[in-house]
Structure 1
Amino acid sequence: MRLSIGTSVMIDKDFTKTGDKYKSKIVDFSDGFVLIDYPTHIDTGKTAFFMDGTQLLISFVENKMSYAFRSEVAGRVNRGIPMLKLAYPGDDQLIKIQRREFVRVETAIDVAVASEGVFQQFVAEDISAGGIALNIGQDDPFEGTDFVSLTIALPYVNDDIKYIRTEAKAVRVWEKDDRRIASLEFSEINPTDRQNIIRFCFERQLLARNEL
């Protein structure tokens, strides 16, 4: 098992509107489960009390490589100290989190683009936490513009939709299967929005592996 007793873990509650993050560490193991200290909020230090069945995104670092897996709260255990019992899918189900280059996933999501007072609607080719590629048809709507404003609709599997608003710059226009694609790089995006995109990409990876 890549996880070991004492491993520090970061915890995201799936689909939270506030982007709250928590930290904890591995205390013990049982068959198909890991036991952790009660998580504390990264910013406030307050102890979190998750209900059974709460969906979580767990990430950790092992040998300088970051990994993530989906889990859920399976109960509570007290072996001298109170612990939270989390489902562990196994090492073969871990997804590596690329740090130097954000994971990019193909997805046809709606994107509204505002440039010099003109609004246009496009469908994405793919997205990562660093940028997005749009199907633009035969024209180049970004020619001669430095930055544009994007509104990106991210649909999650629980039917929640988050709207990401950010500035972006077109870095290149290219062709794929007789379609013109514009690649845009995010220039101003707040950390919570970036984390929501990372979570969306992670979810799409799980869908591609038929795990959701």
Structure 2
Amino acid sequence: MDKKKEIMLIGHLKGRKSGNTVINIGDTLILEPANTDRTEKYKCRLVETGEKELYIDYPIHLETNKTVFLLNGTQLKVNFVTSEGSVYMFQSEIVGRKKEQVPMLILHLPSKEQMIKIQRRQFVRVDTNVDTAVHPLHNDFLPFTTVTTDISAGGAAIIAPKTIIFHEGNSLEVYLVLHLQNGEYYYPRLKGKVIKVYGYNETNNKVSLQFHEMNSTDRQIILRFCYDVQLSLKKKGREN
């Protein structure tokens, strides 16, 4: 099958056309067991496409980093991020297997009416300190290191010295250090836009940023990181 083949998925929300969404070969899909209380998540890549099928490589458990073996008929919730940064979710199931150079599972591709677009405001924002390096895009300030006060897949708030003047709409670049529960570290490099500047203390401001031009892999990693933080906070709450 032609590796350049794409599926055009046209979503509808409440009867309104939401636009064209493209799943490309090589895109990352996040799978969750459906109809269960389990909160497990698996990561896989789209290898091939068919008219009513998606061919994926064997999923990897996001916590254990081990291959997951799913039986035919397994019901799943699937989400993916488009190149424009939109998140879509749909219900699916394992309908078969295919053995070629890469062993694959076959997912059922639902109709366009069953695609749900998740709005950006639905990204979970968690209060946590993430080590961050901030760099200018136009040499208008010196790079500095800091931490976030909160973060989501759509943006973050960082602490910045008052000696650096930020204005709404300013562009910059941030390097994050994300430590997942499975022990892995990720270092996404992201472009951001200043949304708001608040007074924080005598020497620092809090700067609210919106991420843009983010690829799907980085967005999925940040979604996963926020999910890990949520689980950790819930666990601490139960233990206290």
Pick the TM interval, shorter chain.
0.5 to 0.7
Post-superposition CA distance 1:85-127 (Å, at most 9, x none): xxxxxxxxxxxxx744111001111111111343111111110
Q: What is the total number of aligned residue pairs between the two structures?
A: 153
Could you tell me which of 22, 25, 46 is aligned with 1:42? Answer: 46
**Maintained 8 Å contact 1:24/1:40:** no
Q: Distance in 2 between matches of 1:194 and 1:157?
A: 17
Post-superposition CA distance 1:36-86 (Å, at most 9, x none): xxx9853431462779x7387x7469xxxx79xxxxxxxxxxxxxxxxxxx
Could you tell me which of 21, 28, 36 is aligned with 2:29? Answer: 21
Distance 1:41 1:114, change over 3 A: closer
Distance 1:126 1:42, change over 3 A: same
- The residue number in structure 2 matching 1:82 is none
Distance 1:19 1:125, change over 3 A: farther
Distance 1:139 1:151, change over 3 A: same
AA partner of residue 202 (structure 1):
Y
TM-score with structure 2 setting the length:
0.51
Post-superposition CA distance 1:112-149 (Å, at most 9, x none): 11113431111111101111100113334424872111
Could you tell me which of 189, 196, 199 is aligned with 1:172? Answer: 196
TM-score with structure 1 setting the length:
0.56
- The residue number in structure 1 matching 2:100 is none
1:112 aligns with 2:133: yes
AA partner of residue 171 (structure 1):
I
Q: Which runs of 5+ in 2 are unaligned?
A: 1-25, 49-54, 69-75, 80-88, 91-117
Q: Which runs of 5+ in 1 are unaligned?
A: 1-17, 34-38, 68-97
- The residue number in structure 1 matching 2:101 is none
- The residue number in structure 1 matching 2:157 is 133
RMSD: 4.1
